[in-house]
Structure 1
């Protein structure tokens, strides 16, 4: 019974949390996020539940924080920026490469997308697979190599990569539907350029640069 009460307290989303989210939404809106669906989702997803208890007081600051295994929970503005570039529509089939904390996947689910999310770190994969359904979000989880994507489940309307890659993986381009959008940070370990790739036909892709960011590296393979 005590364990149950502790878990319920850990998953609490109270009036204070909701107020902090409203302030966060105003902050990222002031930074240029205009997609109302993105702002609404950021305002609903309880970010504090995705962070270690020692960081809960920082959950609604517009900053990234460590989550273990050398990974971070992305800055809310960055999550909103990438999501806005995707132009997510309800029922879109979306592949997320790099589940991490699960926060980005939750935002996509909140927007009504059908989400397939892949994570290479077994420990993070197990943690998020338990957390997200417990707070009402049910993407399809996969433990594997993000560079390979999920060819069995493609093609996808949208693909989002939440770690910095040295190049755009060919497998992800192939798994994008014609008319689909891929958002991926590409560059060195220290700085990446956000790329928006639109598949215009079977053999044609248009790529746009959308500004500099810093992400943790996208690593190939999968950990056990």
Structure 2
């Protein structure tokens, strides 16, 4: 998979190293194991998907782009729409603490079990609403794996200065991957990276996956 990512333009060796150490098939039902290392999104149930390896790598690369060093270069990162837990597992290489926010409770339970089985101890998965992150502030970065129709300003507010928010924005068939870098309390820089296709970002909490 690393060779595929190199060919697709992923250049940060830190990201490639992390991707090489996390077995993607562990986050999928056994029926999908034969396709786990293809560059495609795959269903994880409840109308949700695990993102393409390229997208996981690209979003991670954008998040850590300006940070020097290896290992735990951040204190706290938020992963909204954590789903299977795969993106959170990749982020575990770069932060002392990763908080995954997932609105669908059965996916929370399943991803917690997967991460526990893999021995990943610095990731916690919370059943919550990605639009409402009460109590969180001064975080070092946010990745969002679901597309809101517009940029959620409340997410920018909880970022540290110079921290980044990486997320898709838009409606079905009209989404852009956006990199936002917070400049100060009231301003930020926005860069449109590329066209993407994600599930919509919904509010609220789902107890049974509906």
TM normalised by structure 2 equals 0.91
2:57 and 2:38 map into 1 onto residues whose CA distance is 14
Match of 1:157 in 2: 140
User: Once the 2 structures are TM-superposed, how far is the Cα of residue 140 of structure 1 from its aligned partner?
Assistant: 1.8
Q: Determine whether 1:220 maps to 2:203.
A: yes
User: Once the 2 structures are TM-superposed, how far is the Cα of residue 133 of structure 1 from its aligned partner?
Assistant: 1.6
User: Once the 2 structures are TM-superposed, how far is the Cα of residue 91 of structure 1 from its aligned partner?
Assistant: 4.2
User: Once the 2 structures are TM-superposed, how far is the Cα of residue 154 of structure 1 from its aligned partner?
Assistant: 2.0
User: Once the 2 structures are TM-superposed, how far is the Cα of residue 122 of structure 1 from its aligned partner?
Assistant: 0.5
Query: Rg bigger for which structure?
Result: 1
Cα pair 2:77 2:140 within 8 Å, conserved: yes
- Aligned pair count reads 200
Match of 2:28 in 1: 51
Cα pair 1:165 1:218 within 8 Å, conserved: yes
Instruction: Return the structure number with greater helix share.
Output: 1
Q: What does the per-residue CA deviation read over 1:62-85, in whole Å, with 9 as the maximum and x for residues that have no partner?
A: 111000010001100000010100
Q: What does the per-residue CA deviation read over 1:162-192, in whole Å, with 9 as the maximum and x for residues that have no partner?
A: 1111011121011111110000100112231
Match of 2:183 in 1: 200
User: Once the 2 structures are TM-superposed, how far is the Cα of residue 129 of structure 1 from its aligned partner?
Assistant: 1.2
Match of 1:76 in 2: 53
Q: Where does the alignment leave 5 or more consecutive residues of structure 1 unmatched?
A: 1-23
User: 4+ runs of 1 displaced by more than 4 Å?
Assistant: none
Pick aligned residue for 2:129 from 145, 158, 183: 145
Q: Where does the alignment leave 5 or more consecutive residues of structure 2 unmatched?
A: none
TM normalised by structure 1 equals 0.86
